[in-house]
Amino acid sequence: MDEAFGAAVRARFDIVSFDPRGVGGSVPALTCEPAEAEAEAEETSEDFSDAVAPLYPRTEAARSAAASGARTAAEDCEEHSGPILRHVGTEDAARDLDVLRAALGERELTYLGWSYGTSLGTSYAEQFPRRVRAMVLDGAIDPSLDWRQRVISQSAGFRRSVDDYAEQCAEIAGDSCPGANPQEIRALIERLYQRAEREPLPVAEDSTYAEYGGMDATAVLDAVSMAMYTPEDQWEPLSEALREADQGDATKLGALDDELETEDPGTAEEEQEEQEEDEIPEPPADNGDAALTAVNCLDVPHPRSLRPYWAALAPADQAAGVYGTAGVTADLTCRDWPSGGRRPHRVDADGVAPVLVVGTTGDPATPYEESVSLAEQFPEGMLLTYEGLGHTAYGRGDTCVTAQVDAYLVKRERVRPGATC
């Protein structure tokens, strides 16, 4: 984590991070995965080849299947993590953050949050506005949006980013691009989505997706979407994976996330020795997806009736194509989730110190427009615009962003209106 911060910040501060309640190494950790024995029983009773779901459920049968799958996912979470589901929301995590501040003996908090961390920072600023020394929110989430607005905003961001990939692939990924021009790349991606809706794309026997019969359309869309986060690292392997998937082997496409997660300079023996020396128990498996679902469902009220979801499909399709319709069906899980107390609202943080919001114009997951909005909602809020691609800006190597954020965090130097890197 230290390498994500500029030299001036590392020299001035101790960098402290934490796993929010229910996440990663926190105990108890949220899990929605069936136990191994349950999973084996499910595998023997299901034919995964018949479980292909469309990205845009238009028929009654497709919608019924989408609702049933979402209900099952919610029930799995309730069964395995029921006691903590109602207590992993952002307001709770923000109060934990203030406990951490006090435990460190700090009178005021100096905070930097990326992506979901912007929601955590915003909540902290609302609950403890006079305990903020400085706060950077990079890749903002706008708390004033309701569930449908959020889905459309983020889905449109992913669609734009995939268009950026098609347009700028040659500049970043070079000869590995899976098409000779943007039109060919777009056509290839659309072709894969359509194939995967008819039948899962084939993968090797040792692939994560082999037990499901291959990659369905949702898995393909997720792989493409996740590769938009860091173009400088992901577009080249994505391009190679798309080319091979189009030729009949989606193994590399299904392994894109695995490649990112396994990038680690240490050996297995070194990790084991460090663990034994520090006597730190091995953390649970990555539960980031379950945690994000849990927090989203608690933080943002969702309809209990199915009708609003089906009504949202057409506007989502118009705004973001299959990225939008898939986003709507993904939110169906929240229909059967415990409700939290938060409602969409504009920031209420009177007395907070000037907050710096950083927005990336080509951000797929937290669209730039939400950063603009969040900066406007904070009293004396400041916006730093990064004209670039990928998710968030600070810590990705741009010297202009690093200099301005570091100057603010260390010296509390304000960023001028209209500042752009």
pLDDT, tens only, 338-390 = 888 889 999 999 999 999 999 999 999 999 999 999 999 999 999 999 999 99
Residue among 216, 222, 391, 406 flagged as catalytic:
391
Q: Contact, 377 vs 409, CB < 8 A?
A: no
Angle in degrees, CA 59, 63, 66, rounded to 5: 145
Mean pLDDT, the chain, rounded, equals 90
d(CA 4, CA 396): 7
| pLDDT classification of 279: cutoffs 50, 70, 90 | low
d(CA 201, CA 218): 11
Q: Is 99 exposed, middle or buried (0-12, 13-18, 19+ CB in 10 A)?
A: exposed
| pLDDT classification of 266: cutoffs 50, 70, 90 | very low
Sorted by sequence, the CB contacts under 8 Å of residue 33 that are 6+ apart come out as 39, 76, 80, 285, 290
* CA proximity to 360, closest of 238, 175, 229: 229
Residue type, 386: Y
pLDDT, tens only, 93-140 = 999 999 999 999 999 999 999 999 999 999 999 999 999 999 999 999
The string of DSSP letters for 302-356 reads --SSSHHHHHHHHHHHHHHTHHHHHHHHHGGGGGGSPP-S--------TTPPPEE
Sorted by sequence, the CB contacts under 8 Å of residue 401 that are 6+ apart come out as 358, 384, 386, 393, 394, 421
Judge whether 115 counts as a catalytic residue. Answer: yes
| pLDDT classification of 2: cutoffs 50, 70, 90 | low
299 pLDDT above the threshold of 50: yes
Judge whether 49 counts as a catalytic residue. Answer: no
Residue among 115, 119, 123, 371 flagged as catalytic:
115
Judge whether 98 counts as a catalytic residue. Answer: no
39 pLDDT above the threshold of 80: no
Q: Which domains does the chain have, with CATH numbers?
A: 2-24+87-144+345-411 (3.40.50.1820), 36-85+146-261 (no CATH)
404 pLDDT above the threshold of 50: yes
Residue among 142, 222, 363, 406 flagged as catalytic:
363
| pLDDT classification of 284: cutoffs 50, 70, 90 | low
Sorted by sequence, the CB contacts under 8 Å of residue 238 that are 6+ apart come out as 165, 173, 223, 224, 227, 253, 256
Pick from 65-79, 150-164, 204-218, 277-291: least confident: 277-291
**Greater confidence, 263 or 65?**
65
Q: Give this prediction's pTM.
A: 0.90
